[in-house]
Amino acid sequence: MTTQAAKQASNVRFNGLDTPQLVQTVEAVKQDKSLAKFEFRARNQWIDGMVTRTSIQDFYGVGAEDKSRSKPFTLTSGEPPVLLGANEGAGAGEVLLHALASCVASTAVLHATARGIRIESIATELKGDVDLQGLLGLDPAVRPGYQKITVKMAIKADCSDTQLDELVQIVRGHSPMYDSISRPVPVLLERA
């Protein structure tokens, strides 16, 4: 990331971001790479049927345990009736799309800000194909997960279409959740 544009852009907020803090963060990480290491965490409890609840509060990052959250975020997952639930919450597959959508948008905003591009709006539409035969174990040739995800991203900003194309290319290369879904992540699932 070039911090030059961000330095020039403003010493206040740009795209809703504190640009001096963005510059400071980038400079601090350049000086001490260990500050870039984050560990995110979640605790989940099965409630009943297809309903579970996740608690999210603490994490490690920028060289310390974070203390900024006085209480946890509580997220409830459920499934619709055709998947044996009662719409108690968004389903796991839909939650993954939310993670991807929020990540590509905020990655775009972060890198736009670093380039001095002012974002007017970002709206994304996501679709993901799943074949239930994988989950149900009816056909070993069918993967349980998403077979394909499409993300249509409408961006309005004070720059050229070429620059917007470049910005989307940057998102493909730098969005943590785009990377986590499109490339394999080692997942170690074990009984506690």
- Interaction residues for a second copy, span 77-96 (CB under 8 A): 77, 79-84, 87, 89-96
| Both tokens assigned to 136 | 């149900």
Closest separation in Å from C-beta 8 to a second copy:
18
Q: Report how far residue 106's alpha carbon sits from residue 44's, in angstroms, rounded to the nearest whole number.
A: 25
Query: Among residues 5, 7, 10, 26, which is the contact residue for a second copy, using CB under 8 A?
Result: 26
Query: Could you say whether residue 172 binds a second copy (CB under 8 A)?
Result: yes
Residues that bind a second copy (rule: CB under 8 A) add up to a total of 131
Identify residues 131-170 at the interface with a second copy (CB under 8 A).
Answer: 131-139, 142-155, 164-165, 168, 170
Residue carrying the six token digits 């993901």: 128
Fill in the amino acid letter for 156. K
**Beta carbons within 10 angstroms of residue 53's beta carbon:** 16
Asked if residue 100 binds a second copy (CB under 8 A), the reply is yes
Using DSSP's 3-state secondary structure scheme, residue 67 falls into coil
Asked whether 19 and 12 are in contact (CB, 8 A), the reply is yes
CB of 171 to a second copy, least distance (A): 7
Cα 180 to Cα 37: distance, rounded to the nearest angstrom: 16
Q: What mask, x for binding a second copy by CB under 8 A, covers residues 34 to 73?
A: -xxxxxxxxxxxx-xxxxx-x-x--x-xx---x-xx---x
